Structure 1
Amino acid sequence: MRVGIVVFDGTDDLDVVGPFSVFGMASRAGLGVEVELIAPGERPDVTTRGGLSLRPGRWAPQDLDVLIVPGGGYASGEDIGVRAEIADGRLPAALAAAVRPDLVLASVCTGALLLAAAGLVTGRPCTTHHRAVEDLVAAGGRHVDARVVDDGDLVTAGGVSSGLDLALWLVERFRGPDAAGLVQRVMEYERREPLWRADVTSEGVSAR
């Protein structure tokens, strides 16, 4: 399981560090998980909203199983973060170009608005931070009131701390419930529900 977490100036610290910690723990536990920070274009380093300096690696989404997009600064209207990346256009274009049948695109918090700017949530069940729900719906998303929403190749999570739940769910989905349970116990974190999942069954779409 190869995971890339996108970083950009003004991204929320926990949106990045939460999932990175989960996947890093899974890697150290020998669960066959690799995680790295990535960014398109020439970005030798980025600074989070809280002031962390991060050095992203090479942009190679073709090598990933999961690509996670964090949020940051959207609800407060800051001049760096999600809104700035949408206005710039290069990150949404890179996300749109990354799409392929065996890649799962995921978002934490207002990262869903970057996926929306890339045209990737239209008509799809999804979620985001509660202060950005109206904008997500206006962009074509079909909002589901859940902590994590799994619609197959699109998995979205709500507010900031939900990135932990997103990452644990993806570990479970790719490596099984025992693997996710191990990481959860080591981190001493209790996963929060609800998880909404679109199951392709004779009964149609269901929620768990």
Structure 2
Amino acid sequence: MRVHIVVFDGMDDLDVVGPFSVLGMAGRAGLGVSVRLASATGQAQATTLGGLPLFPGPWAPEDADVLVVPGGGFASGGPATGVRATGVRAEIADGRVPRALAAAVRPDLVLASVCTGALLLAAAGLVEGRPCTTHHRAVDDLVAAGGRHVDARVVDDGDLVTAGGVTSGLDLALWLVERFQGREAAERVQRGLEYERREPLWLAGGAAA
């Protein structure tokens, strides 16, 4: 499983670092997982909301099995607040990341999001009528964008996998390891992290696990 995490200025720190840590550990354990950071806009450095500098590689979605889109900066901003747009809101306004995500779609690619990263997928036209989730403060925006909100920690609708707020990125990444590499692989990583996955997990067809 080859995972590229999309990075941009103003993303939430844990939305990126959480999945990267899980997937990186899976890779180091020899479980057939690789992960890297990628920029859809060509920037050489992206800085998280907390000030952490990250250095992404080139945009190459054709070389990925999964694209993970973090959130950050959406729930607390917007025109009505008078707060300058950052993170997801800024990238939606700019338009380049949503366009790159829309152009990346192919039959064997999974698009995934953490927290308000789902709103970037929505801006790319990728959640219309689809079961999905996001941070609780952005649910109304997700529904307004055409998503069918499911109250679950992780929602797997085949080629669209979304997770709730912030720490759910850990659960998303563990689920991706399980889905692609098997339950034993995911449990091995979970033990290494000393983390207990939170439920529920919603699967396509309406089943909850």
Q: TM-score surpassing 0.5? A: yes
Cross-structure match for 1:30? 30
**C-alpha RMSD of matched pairs (Å):** 0.7
Cross-structure match for 2:85? 79
Secondary structure of 1:107's match?
strand
Secondary structure of 1:170's match?
helix
Gaps of at least 5 residues in structure 1 are 200-204
- Choose the corresponding residue for 2:185, options 171, 179, 184: 179
Question: Within 2, Cα distance between the matches of 1:184 and 1:36?
Answer: 20
Question: Within 2, Cα distance between the matches of 1:127 and 1:190?
Answer: 20
Question: Within 1, Cα distance between the matches of 2:42 and 2:150?
Answer: 36
Q: How far 1:151 moved relative to its partner? A: 0.1
The percentage of aligned residue pairs carrying the same residue is 79
Question: Within 2, Cα distance between the matches of 1:17 and 1:51?
Answer: 13
Pair 1:94-2:114 in alignment:
no
Cross-structure match for 2:111? 105
Aligned residues: 203
Question: Within 2, Cα distance between the matches of 1:85 and 1:46?
Answer: 12
Cross-structure match for 1:161? 167
How high is the TM-score relative to the length of structure 1?
Answer: 0.96
Pair 1:66-2:72 in alignment:
no
Pair 1:130-2:136 in alignment:
yes
Equivalent pair of 2:131/2:155 in contact (CA under 8 Å): yes
Secondary structure of 1:101's match?
coil
Equivalent pair of 2:42/2:58 in contact (CA under 8 Å): no
Name segments (4+ residues, structure 1) moved above 6 Å. Answer: none
Q: How far 1:83 moved relative to its partner? A: 0.3
Equivalent pair of 2:42/2:59 in contact (CA under 8 Å): no
How high is the TM-score relative to the length of structure 2?
Answer: 0.96
Secondary structure of 1:84's match?
helix
Question: Within 2, Cα distance between the matches of 1:187 and 1:198?
Answer: 27
Pair 1:192-2:198 in alignment:
yes
Q: How far 1:207 moved relative to its partner? A: 2.3
Q: How far 1:40 moved relative to its partner? A: 1.3
Question: Within 2, Cα distance between the matches of 1:41 and 1:207?
Answer: 37
Gaps of at least 5 residues in structure 2 are 78-83
Cross-structure match for 1:46? 46
Question: Within 2, Cα distance between the matches of 1:100 and 1:135?
Answer: 26
Matched residue type, 1:56 = P
Question: Within 2, Cα distance between the matches of 1:180 and 1:129?
Answer: 24
Question: Within 2, Cα distance between the matches of 1:124 and 1:48?
Answer: 29
Cross-structure match for 1:115? 121
Question: Within 2, Cα distance between the matches of 1:100 and 1:156?
Answer: 18
Question: Within 2, Cα distance between the matches of 1:116 and 1:28?
Answer: 33
Cross-structure match for 1:14? 14
Question: Within 2, Cα distance between the matches of 1:31 and 1:7?
Answer: 24
Secondary structure of 1:159's match?
coil
Cross-structure match for 2:147? 141
